[in-house]
A and B are shown apart, each in its own frame.
Chain A
Amino acid sequence: EVQLVESGGGLIQPGGSLRLSCAASGFTVSNNHMSWVRQAPGKGLEWVSVIYSGGSTDNADSVKGRFTISRDNSKNTLYLQMNSLRAEDAAVYYCARLEYTSFFNWGQGTLVTVSS
C-alpha cells in the first residue's frame, strides 16, 4: 500500500527557513515523479514543485529561487527546503506521488505558519 507521511511543518518567522520531509512506503520514490502541493487556509490548491524520476526539477514561479525539492533514495524520502519564507507561504503542504502528470497519492499534509 502506498503511504506518504509529511513532517517538518511549524511556526517560522518571515525570512526564515524550514525543511519539510515526506517519508514514502509501498513504492520507490526515485522511480516516480514526486511533487509538493500547498493549500493556504481556506484557499484552493497550488502546485509548488516537482522532481522527475530522472532527477530534474521544476518550481512554480511563486517559489522559484527560494524553494528546493530533493530526495534521498537511501531513505525513500522527499524533501522541500524552503528559504526566505513569506507570510503568503503559510499553508498546508502536501507531498504527492505522480503518475505522468496526475497526483495519484497524497500525504496527510503538514502545516507551515509564517508569522512574527
Chain B
Amino acid sequence: QSALTQPASVSGSPGQSITISCTGTSTDVGSYNLVSWYQQHPGKAPKLMIYEVTKRPSGVSNRFSGSKSGNTASLTISGLQTEDEADYYCCSYAGSSTFSLFGGGTKLTVL
C-alpha cells in the first residue's frame, strides 16, 4: 500500500488558522476512524497530537483539532504560534495486511 498523501508544506502567520490534509483510500482512511496526527520538531521524537480522527490526548492544546470526510482527514491548527512550526504526519490504520500507513509529512512554517 502507498503512503498517505499530504502537502509538502503549509504556512501561516501567528494567530491565523491552517489546515493540513491527508488523503488515503477506501481501504485505509476511508474505512476506519483510526487516523492520528503527530508533530515532530527537528531532532526530536514525534508527539501524538490527535488520535481516532478527533480526540486530543491529555496536555495537547485545544487549538489542535481533527476531522475526516471520505478518504481525506484533516488537521486544523487555530491561533498559530511560533512553537507550532514543525513537521506534521498523519497516520491511518490500514487493516490486517498493513498495521499503519503514514503520510509523507507536511512542514509547517509560521511566518
Contact = CB atoms under 8 A, between A and B. Distances in A.
Interface stretch (A21-29, A71-79, A83-91, A98-106): A98-106
Contacts of B40: 45
**Chain A interface residue bracket vs B:** 20 to 34
Interface of B: 3, 32, 34, 36, 38, 40, 45-48, 51-52, 57, 89, 91, 93, 96, 98-105
B99 A103 contact: no
Given A44-B3, A46-B102, A107 B93 contact: no
Interface in A38-56: 44-47, 50
B52 to A, nearest CB: 7
Contacts of B99: 35, 47, 50, 58, 60, 101
5 contacts: A44-B89, A45-B38, A45-B91, A101-B99, A102-B48
A45 B46 contact: yes
Contacts of B38: 45, 103
Contacts of A94: 45-46
Contacts, number: 65
Contact of B47 (A58, A99, A106, A109): A106
Contacts of A46: 102
Nearest to A92: B45
B4 to A, nearest CB: 10
Contacts of A45: 38, 40, 46, 89, 91, 102, 105
A44 B98 contact: no
A47 B89 contact: no
Contacts of B34: 100-102
